[in-house]
Amino acid sequence: MPRRRKGEAVSGWICLDKPSDLGSTQAVGRVRRAFNARKAGHAGTLDPLATGILPIALGEATKTVSFLMEARKTYRFTIAWGVETASFDREGAVTATSDARPAAAAVGEALKAFVGEIDQVPPAFSAVKVGGARAYDLAREGVALDLAARKIVIHDARLVEAPDADHAIVEITCGKGTYVRALVRDLAASLGARAHVSALRRTRVGPFTEARAIALESLEALCHRGGPLEALLPVETALDDIPELAVTTEDAFRLTQGRSIVLLPRQVETLKARLSASRMVSARHERKIVALCEMRAGRLNPTRVFHLT
């Protein structure tokens, strides 16, 4: 007799507004328990000290997490001048100080050098793996690390305001793998100063924005009242840039069985005009996603199949 899986078959996305002092894994656990969901995961770690958008996938939505990892992210953060810490945030031990307080105009000008594809060395206190161990674990043990630079992309960076001589508020839009703390480290060095991140908030991850976000306590209260589905976004929310194709009942069945389907010539032409380099297509039946498919030689070949009731 097959073993019964624990939890409910809940599928969809939660656009969580993560509070400070809570790890991403802890946040996922609390959301999963609130829904009593069988399966949950997140798209992009957010530091415990940071707040803001943490997209959490439940059930079948976990099959779309990889697509969201490539999405652009927007961060707004406060730079505190004069003090550098081991972790480059307010939690780390002080490692250096400086009397330099860059002027707002100088900060805005210096940010321009960090826009585009750049090389960035991750901070020692990061999730980068070194010999099978996490860098932050080694750093906490006092191990000296020499991490290699990685290519990242920062699409936009601007100075929002400088409320006083000791602080600057900056907003960036970037690709995956970008460390704000490392950016602040390098920005300060370019200005002959020392600094750390005193506040960090992620305001956007692809289609997940502050307008869609819900606070963790509000979500838990909603689930307690029996209305959790009000906060649940569709599984396909993470696939907003992938073209859709409505399929027949017969073709939907074939796709869920892992079999390919043949497209009509007009369907091929329509999709070709909208396809990205990945050639991925979202096949839907009665407005529900059936499968993610790769289009090749006039056929749709399923790569991920969804079982939504």
Write out the catalytic residue numbers. 47
Asked if 31 contacts 221 with a C-beta cutoff of 8 angstroms, the reply is: no
Tokens of 275: 């396809």
Burial of 116 (0-12, 13-18, 19+ CB in 10 A): exposed
Among residues 103, 150, 104, which one has the least CA distance to residue 127? 150
- DSSP code of residue 249: H
Which amino acid belongs to residue 298? G
Copy the structure tokens of residue 84: 């550098």
DSSP state of 104: H
The CA distance from 199 to 91, in Å, is 11
Rounded to the nearest 10 degrees, what angle do helices 104-111 and 180-190 cross at?
120
Strands (E), the chain: 12-18, 40-42, 51-58, 73-81, 83-85, 94-97, 116-120, 129-130, 133-134, 150-164, 167-174, 195-205, 208-209, 214-215, 244-246, 261-262, 280-285, 288-296, 299-305
Decide: 44 and 52 in contact? Cβ < 8 Å. no
